[in-house]
Amino acid sequence: MNPVLLALIPLLPLFSAVLLMLFGLRLPRLAVGTLAVGAVAASTVATLLLWPAASGDGLLVVLYAWAAVTGLDLPLTLHFNPLSAPMTLMVTLVSTLIHLYAVAYMAKEEDVVRFFALLNLFVFAMLLIVLADSLLLVFIGWEGVGFCSYALIGFWYQEGKNADAGRKAFLVTRVGDVFFGIALLWLFALTGTLSISAINAQAVLLPAATVTAIGLLLLLGASGKSAQLPLMSWLADAMAGPTPVSALIHAATMVTAGVYLLCRFFPLISLSPTALLAIATVGGLTAFYAATCALAQREIKRVLAYSTMSQVGFMLLAVGAGSVGAAMFHLITHAFFKALLFMAAGVVIHLADGENDLFKLGGLSRKAPQVAILLVIGALCLAGVPLTGGFFSKDAILLAVGAHPETAYKILWLLGIISALLTAIYTFRLAYLVCAGPPRTAIGHVASPGLVAPLWPLALLGLLAGLLNLPPLLGGGERLMHFLGPYAGLQPEVSHLAEFGQWGLAALLVFVGWRIARSRWSKQPAAQEGARIDFFRSGWQIDTLIATVLLRPFSALCRFSSEKIDKVGIDGVIAGLAQCCRFGSSSVLRMATGRLSTAVTSMTVGVLLLMVWGLWTLLLR
Amino acid sequence: MIVPIGHVLLLALILLLLGIACVLARRTLIMMLIGVEIMINAAGLVAVAGSALHRQLDGQILAVFLMAMTAAEVAISLAMVVYLRRRKGTIIADAFDGMKG
């Protein structure tokens, strides 16, 4: 029973997606939504039913014995273990709520079948990444989420801007995928297997330099999917998609895939301190970079996008510090509150008739108090207000980083602290600009219950997620860490004093952030302008930088190849040869008059010459 | 042999040169064909002379074959001349320069 159940978890959304693609247009609207939500909900139920099987070594199921020949055994396997089980539950649960929300959100949309088919396919691909033990399946899922995100970001493709954003997401993540693909093939060449658990078991036998190189390749692959430096430029533009897509891609699933991949490979990566430090550095820098960008954004969803980037940076920081447990903890809490924030933002935009400029919103607390409460709950979690889910998970990360013996990690810890402060500032800025003050845009209608209802469970989960992994200091048992067991990575030894200090510092940061935000944005906020703000708003001019460093030299090279090498060089040689031939032939051409007399005369002369020559040789003999 | 072989060969050579001159100099197809006939007959004459000199029949057989072949060739050639004449209204050889490069 269990193996079937495990296979059903990813296959149910796939089945629903295929069904929608084939027959969706003939189904009534209600059936389309029900099918899409039902499939994901059924996956959630299957995960819950399967939960007991996750303990210990977990459940390994061979889906299909692909390429089973002598000396080569590449079964397509799923692995339900303490690491993948919480992730699966999170993905299915959050996806179910997002699907529910999407039914209400897309109520007036024409093309709802395509939307839900892609959404279900996306969940399938994500579950494949999460559950697969075979790297081949991981790669299929990896490319699957890439494709689905492309199609979903560009869902309203009639507008060129959206289609461009989809293409950008696809291409930038593809850069990371190339590195992931190289790592994958290298691992296969080294170990002869594609099973993650088998590779991890053999990891100690690999040479140190190889492990470092593979770790860095995996990091680059993860950077593409998780929108980390230097492959982060796509995420902010990805907001062009419908809000449920933003919530699904940029909260629960796709962006966490990179972090999750590194967590899966942690036994391998942990053998290389260099790779770990690189991961932590990328994470820390991205956390800081994205937080500064989020501070300057005007559009509500772009703030959240940059905040996602920043939070995923925190997760990488945790992986780099060796604490997979903290990373997974933050991944899960972040999925709850970020999905909540995105969907609440979607409701806000919906209420304001498509207005998404922070400085034109406002006064939500009076006009739509329920939505405002939800948004504020999300903001509290994101800012890391004590006792919310985000507080515990972020502090677990900062504790792990701070407790790391190496000096480099102290700097990263400081970077993390600054990022946490910036997070608090931009989060409260968002909350104040949207909720406080007078309404700057008329809020005409009321949010439908279908839009708001799915947010409440997320709000509760976000607030109470700390209970999942309550530190012993507060009487908790660190249940997530214990559940993860050997998968939790290295646990830092932290004194109680340091833990209290960290908490005090975190609370102080939140307080300071709140005061700053309150003093600047609670009353009559003036829209920030100026060159400095523009620099941060455009993400440190990263697109311009990429254009100058990569795109323009590349197009210059292409132009050079086209105009100089191809048109002048290669075409020149060929044209020259043709010219030679034409010249040669034109000189011979004069002989070919086509007249019988010429032919006969030349033949006669030729024969006579031959005869003379023959006679000559005869006579000489 | 009554006639010395040298005289016969000389006659054949003269005939051949006359034929060649005819083919080269004349412009109408008919006259060129006549030149070709003269050349073939010069060759036939050499064959018959050789046969008489060596007292063997091969040369005479060859001459008979040459006559048969010439008859066939003339039949085909004249048919083509008629055809070409119908096509262009002339039998001057240089008018047919379709092979001009």
Residues B25-76 pLDDT 10s: 888 999 999 999 999 999 999 999 999 999 999 999 999 999 999 999 999 9
Same domain, A527 and A554: no
Asked if the C-beta of A608 comes within 8 angstroms of chain B's C-beta atoms, the answer is no
Q: By residue range, what is the domain housing residue B58?
A: 5-89
Query: Contact B20/A604, CB-based, under 8 Å?
Result: yes
Domain boundary pick from A540, A569, A598: A540
Residues A407-421 pLDDT 10s: 888 888 888 889 988
Whether B94 is covered by a domain: the verdict is no
Whether A525 is covered by a domain: the verdict is yes
Residues 27-66 of B with CB under 8 A from A: 27, 32
Q: What is the pLDDT of residue A226?
A: 86
Residues 6+ away with beta carbon under 8 Å from A270: A276, A322, A489, A490
The amino acid that residue A587 corresponds to is S
Q: Is the pLDDT of residue B99 over 90?
A: no
pTM, two decimal places? 0.77
User: In chain A, whose CA is at the least distance from the CA of B26?
Assistant: A597
Whether B74 is covered by a domain: the verdict is yes
User: Looking at per-residue confidence, does A104 or B64 come out higher?
Assistant: B64
Whether B14 is covered by a domain: the verdict is yes
Same domain, A430 and A366: yes
Calpha distance A369→A357 (Å, rounded): 20
| Chain B partners within 8 Å of A594 (Cβ) | 96-101
| Chain B partners within 8 Å of A582 (Cβ) | none
User: In chain B, whose CA is at the least distance from the CA of A594?
Assistant: B100
Would you state the structure tokens that stand for residue A300, as one six-digit string? 């509500």
Which among A594, A597, A604 has CB closest to B99?
A594
Whether B101 is covered by a domain: the verdict is no
Q: Is the pLDDT of residue A476 over 70?
A: no
- A339: closest CA among A235, A245, A450? A245
Same domain, A525 and A547: no
Whether B100 is covered by a domain: the verdict is no
CA distances from A284 to A197, A313, A393, A414 (A): 28, 6, 16, 9
Interface ipTM > 0.85: no
Same domain, A430 and A336: yes
Between chain A and chain B, the number of residue pairs with CB atoms below 8 A apart is 32
Domain boundary pick from A540, A565, A590: A540
Q: Distance from A598 to chain B by nearest Cα, in Å?
A: 9
Whether A350 is covered by a domain: the verdict is yes
- Cβ pair A521, A118 in contact under 8 A: no
Calpha distance A597→A360 (Å, rounded): 96
Residue with tokens 């006064």: A363
Q: By residue range, what is the domain housing residue A572?
A: 542-578
Confidence band, pLDDT 50/70/90 cuts, at residue A79: confident
Q: E strand or H helix at A486, and its extent?
A: none
Whether A131 is covered by a domain: the verdict is no
Same domain, A528 and A443: yes
Whether A557 is covered by a domain: the verdict is yes
The strand pair at A59-69 and A72-80 is best described as antiparallel
Whether B99 is covered by a domain: the verdict is no
Same domain, A441 and A509: yes
Whether A460 is covered by a domain: the verdict is yes
Q: Distance from A619 to chain B by nearest Cα, in Å?
A: 19
Q: Is the pLDDT of residue A325 over 90?
A: no
Percent of chain A, pLDDT > 90? 12
| Chain A partners within 8 Å of B24 (Cβ) | 597, 600-601, 604
CA A518 to chain centre: 33
| Chain B partners within 8 Å of A604 (Cβ) | 20, 23-24
- A226: closest CA among A252, A255, A254, A202? A255
Whether B30 is covered by a domain: the verdict is yes
Confidence band, pLDDT 50/70/90 cuts, at residue B22: very high
CA distances from A16 to A24, A63, A132, A252, A551 (A): 10, 19, 20, 20, 41
Same domain, A528 and A565: no
Whether A472 is covered by a domain: the verdict is yes
Same domain, A436 and A498: yes
Average pLDDT, chain A: 85
Asked if the C-beta of B84 comes within 8 angstroms of chain A's C-beta atoms, the answer is no
Whether A465 is covered by a domain: the verdict is yes
- Cβ pair A488, A323 in contact under 8 A: yes
Calpha distance A283→A250 (Å, rounded): 16
Q: Is the pLDDT of residue A442 over 70?
A: no
Q: What is the pLDDT of residue A557?
A: 92
Q: Distance from A605 to chain B by nearest Cα, in Å?
A: 11
| Chain A partners within 8 Å of B27 (Cβ) | 597
Which among A589, A595, A604 has CB closest to B94?
A595
Same domain, A546 and A435: no
Asked if the C-beta of B88 comes within 8 angstroms of chain A's C-beta atoms, the answer is no
Same domain, A374 and A295: yes
Q: What is the pLDDT of residue A444?
A: 65
Asked if the C-beta of A611 comes within 8 angstroms of chain B's C-beta atoms, the answer is no
Q: What is the pLDDT of residue B38?
A: 93
Same domain, A510 and A548: no
Which CATH number characterizes residue B58's domain?
1.10.287.3510
Asked if the C-beta of B23 comes within 8 angstroms of chain A's C-beta atoms, the answer is yes
CA distances from A190 to A139, A193, A214, A266, A532 (A): 18, 8, 11, 17, 49
Asked if the C-beta of A354 comes within 8 angstroms of chain B's C-beta atoms, the answer is no
| Chain B partners within 8 Å of A589 (Cβ) | 101
Query: Contact B24/A594, CB-based, under 8 Å?
Result: no
Which among A592, A595, A601 has CB closest to B24?
A601
Same domain, A308 and A354: yes
| Number of compact structural domains in chain A | 2
Whether A299 is covered by a domain: the verdict is yes
Asked if the C-beta of B93 comes within 8 angstroms of chain A's C-beta atoms, the answer is yes
Q: Is the pLDDT of residue B14 over 90?
A: yes
Calpha distance A213→A376 (Å, rounded): 43
| Number of compact structural domains in chain B | 1
Calpha distance A314→A418 (Å, rounded): 12
